[in-house]
Amino acid sequence: MTTVKEKQTIQEQFKARMNEDELLNCMRCGFCLPTCPTYIESGYKESHSPRGRIALMKAVVDGLIEPDEDFERSLELCLGCRACEPVCPSGVNYGHLLEEARDIIHQNKKHSLPARVVRKAVFQELFPHQNRMRGLVGLIGFYQRSGIQTMARKIGFLGLLPDQLAAMEKVLPDVPTMKEMKNRPTYLPAIAEKVHRVAFFSGCLMDTMFLKSNNATMKLLQKAGCEVVIPQNQACCGALHGHSGEKESAKDLAKRNIRAFEDLQVDFIITNAGGCGAFLVDYDHLLKEDPDWKDRARDFKKKIKDISEILVAVDFHKKVRLELPAQVITYQDSCHLRNGMKTASAPRKLLQAIQGAEYKEMKEADRCCGSAGIYNIVESEMSMVMLDAKMVQAKATHATTIVTANPGCLLQMQLGIEREGLSSTMRAVHIVDLLVESIK
């Protein structure tokens, strides 16, 4: 529950902090509606559409309504997939409005004690600290390798967990050992003729749980003629914080990253997770009111490139022979890679270049799979509705390999495969792993 006092503060903060020009920029044409997953899946409820949410934010600013539970619900149910942005002819930056609104709500609302503990643990004690991330992933590794996992599965202990978490447990990748996670390279030479010097943004989750994909990414960069530097003092991108109403922590992480990368004299900073990349290219917005950081953030942003973009730019797929055994592959867009970083054709070009495999475009590949950061845990009901819809389209392609470009999407697609009982015939992979697999 939100108290009267909290509602008042939230309302005042909306007035003071929400960008009125951006709110007015929405002229309510409704062109965003058909692209919004929650609008469609909620049975065309305007309160779960971008146009509706913007109208609600404006109404709170204007004092037409008070920020009650329904209002918060409308903003919470948003995936933040930003599919509404590329189709908006007026160019409304919906993502920015959403982040600001969520930040105001979370900073001014006293969460329940358990929620407070979890939020603090996750946002402040865990993600910003790479050693603790390693520790946690290490524990998962211990769980997987020690035999506890096998035992837990046998005893049926997992049946005690909610379905969602039980399924999640199954799809976690086999995580690396502590040793593997600690001994990370800081420099790798180009293997082919050198065309670029790049830095690699390794990410918190990607450099622990998805270490294999990070290794694959660096290998691809080397083969594409890139000399790779991996600064050790880099941090989590802060996306999780930014999207969950923890803007100040996000700013701290942004500054740490800018500092870690700005003096490396590289052509590009490469990411392999759409969710991180889209947040990194938004650092200039995040730090726009900070005179010391504004310009540095802009310089940083200009260098961010997804791995698939650079590979296409240097003609990797034309120079290196890629081949796989006969199979149908399809691609599920990472919303933030597509809508935030505007990268959509590069991954497809790479996949289409793989000899032997047949690439089939999935219908509505640009619609969110329901992963959306921690959305599939906190809003699991809507998330599963979306995942089920996604699996219908995935199955219709007859693909045996579903390719994604973001860790959250990857886990979600694996969860989808598990839920459909297809794990013996269908797999989900990160694009970099498939590319490494197909190098001849």
Query: Would residue 398 be called left, alpha or beta, if left means φ above 0 and alpha means ψ between -120 and 50 degrees?
Result: left
Interface with other proteins, residue 27, by CB under 8 A: yes
Both structure tokens of 253: 């992480």
Query: What does the per-residue mask of binding to other proteins show for 91-130, with x meaning CB under 8 A?
Result: x---------------------------------------
Among 3, 5, 8, 29, binds other proteins (CB under 8 A): 29
56 binds other proteins (CB under 8 A): yes
Pick the piece of the chain touching other proteins (CB under 8 A) from 83-91, 117-125, 213-221, 310-318: 83-91
Regarding 396 and contact with other proteins (CB under 8 A), the answer is no
Q: How many residues bind other proteins (CB under 8 A)?
A: 32
Closest approach, Cβ 110 to other proteins, in A, equals: 22
- Is residue 74 within the footprint of other proteins (CB under 8 A)? yes
Q: Is 89 in the site for other proteins (CB under 8 A)?
A: yes
Q: Are 362 and 59 in contact (CB under 8 A)?
A: no
Q: Indicate which single residue of 19, 47, 222, 380 sits in contact with other proteins (rule: CB under 8 A).
A: 47
d(CA 161, CA 139): 18
Residue of 18, 55, 97, 171 interacting with other proteins (CB under 8 A): 55
25 interacts with other proteins by CB under 8 A: yes
Tokens of 8: 């008042």
SS3 81: coil
The minimum distance between CB 373 and other proteins, in angstroms, equals 24
Residue 241: CB partners within 8 Å, gap ≥ 6?
123, 127, 247, 249, 250, 253
Torsion of CA 194, 200, 205, 210, to 10 degrees: 0
Q: Does 31 bind other proteins (CB under 8 A)?
A: yes
> Which residues, numbered 188-247, are part of the site for other proteins (CB under 8 A)?
none
Part of the chain binding other proteins (CB under 8 A), chosen from 61-69, 260-268, 306-314, 352-360:
61-69
- State the nearest-atom distance from the C-beta of 58 to other proteins, in Å: 9
- Phi and psi at residue 161, in whole multiples of 5°? -80, 155
Q: How far apart are the first and last CA of the chain?
A: 59
Q: Listing from the earlier edge strand, what are the strands of the sheet with 268-271?
A: 187-188, 226-229, 196-200, 268-271, 304-306
For residue 347, give the nearest of 403, 300, 395 by alpha carbon. Answer: 403
Q: At what angle do helices 294-303 and 247-261 cross, to 10 degrees?
A: 70
Q: Does 392 interact with other proteins (rule: CB under 8 A)?
A: no
Regarding 344 and contact with other proteins (CB under 8 A), the answer is no
**Footprint of other proteins (CB under 8 A):** 21, 24-31, 33-34, 43-44, 46-47, 49, 52, 55-56, 59, 64-66, 68, 70-71, 73-74, 88-91
